[in-house]
Amino acid sequence: MKNISFTSFFLAVALLIVVAGGCGQKQGAEPPETTQPAPAPGQPTPMNAPFMQGQTTGPAEEGKTLPLKLTGLNSVEELNRGLAKLSDAESKRLFEEAFRKTFSTEQAGRNYGEAETEFKQVLGKNPKSAESYRGLGYAVFNQGQAQGALQYYLKAIEIDPNYGEAHYAVAFLYAMGDTAKGKEHYQKAMQLGIPDERKLGERFYK
């Protein structure tokens, strides 16, 4: 397997820093969708950019649950699949909290550091939780760890070869370096019915 180049990693991290608004911003808080800069030429849209396609579970008012999209990437559908594979109540609670902190449509409610810790706690009891590895990959990517994210995504696919969202995440990362390898994962994601919300096909995998 070809590794993504360090140069590509730095480009990805630089994009994340721009999108997150710099080091002085509160963790998990990002500028509104209308203020996000366009991605640099030849780079995919940052993975933490909001994609408000379809309805969500509703606004996250004080004391309420952080909202998610109902369908598509990072949605209630994916959350429920992950929950169904966990047997104990504590793991389910931690997984849902981590998932919502990672993928909530309410950008200011995201907390990737806390989510990383919680996903790892879930994996301590449930080492075959592919959804936890996928969420963990997204959380560490948004903390500037592209290589770590790739390894977690690939682990999710190793556990569940038909995990479309994980294939799509790998295709996103390979778009920055190894498009031949990325195309395999992109095509698998499309076969599994994953929506191309980040337009990887028309931009990188024609």
Fold assignment, 6-44+67-203: 1.25.40
Instruction: Identify which of 192, 200, 202 has the alpha carbon closest to the alpha carbon of residue 47.
Output: 200
DSSP bridge partners of 75: 69
CA angle 81-85-90, nearest 5°? 110
Q: Is 74 exposed, middle or buried (0-12, 13-18, 19+ CB in 10 A)?
A: buried
> Would the pLDDT of 75 be above 70?
yes
pLDDT of residue 1 exceeding 80, the answer is: no
The number of CA neighbours under 13 Å toward the Cβ of 201 is 10
The pLDDT of residue 16 is above 50: no
Q: Structure tokens of 152?
A: 């977690």
pLDDT tens-place string over residues 94-126: 999 999 999 999 999 999 999 999 999 999 999
Mean pLDDT of 75-103: 97
What band does 45 get if pLDDT is binned at 50, 70 and 90? very low
Mean pLDDT of 38-58: 44
Residue 49 pLDDT > 60, yes or no?
Answer: no
Relative orientation angle of helices 164-174 and 146-159, to the nearest 10 degrees: 150
Mean pLDDT across the stretch 189-203? 97
Per-residue pLDDT, 57: 52
Range with the poorest average pLDDT among 55-69, 75-89, 109-123, 154-168: 55-69
Q: How high is the mean pLDDT of the chain? A: 79
**Tokens at 100, concatenated:** 């919502």
